[in-house]
């Protein structure tokens, strides 16, 4: 009986160690307080999976270099990343990462998606600073 209890404790400790290792690996993929550029679908999936493992909100910002409102909201997005370091801030140029833009059916920029635990929970279309900050505060 004692042997079984010891073995169960050993197994449980090993599971805890593996969970903490996976969490550390997920955290190493993310940059707290910074905006990370996404260049393709696999890179996006990697970041979203890491955010989900850590239970963090992921904010996807779809932009384009030729977009005037995007240039206005971009510094605001960077400051929000600094203000909410426990959220994951991702930036996707629709002309560079066309596969990601088409997967999300982006028809206008800027567009912001809010993802929690791998599921889309909200969306903002346009350079609406107050809605953007309100939703980040609400979901983060």
Catalytic residues: 67, 70
**Strand, coil or helix: 62:** strand
Kind and range of the H or E run holding 61: strand 57-63
Distance, CA of 1 to CA of 69 (rounded, Å): 68
Mark 10-27 as b/e (b = at least 16 C-beta within 10 Å): eeeeeeeeeeeeeeeebe
Mark 34-62 as b/e (b = at least 16 C-beta within 10 Å): ebeebeebebbeebbebbbbbebbbbbbb
């Amino acid at each position: 009986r004692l042997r079984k209890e010891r073995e169960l404790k050993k197994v449980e400790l090993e599971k805890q160690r593996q969970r903490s290792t996976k969490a550390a690996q997920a955290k190493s993929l993310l940059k707290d307080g910074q905006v990370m550029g996404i260049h393709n679908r696999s890179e996006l999936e990697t970041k979203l999976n890491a955010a989900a493992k850590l239970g963090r909100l992921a904010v996807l910002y779809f932009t384009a270099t030729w977009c005037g409102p995007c240039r206005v909201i971009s510094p605001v997005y960077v400051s929000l990343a600094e203000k909410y370091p426990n959220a994951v801030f991702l930036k996707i140029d629709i002309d560079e990462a066309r596969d990601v833009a088409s997967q999300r059916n982006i028809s206008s920029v800027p567009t912001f998606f809010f993802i929690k635990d791998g599921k889309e929970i909200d969306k903002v279309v346009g350079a609406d600073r107050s809605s953007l900050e309100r939703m980040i505060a609400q979901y983060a």
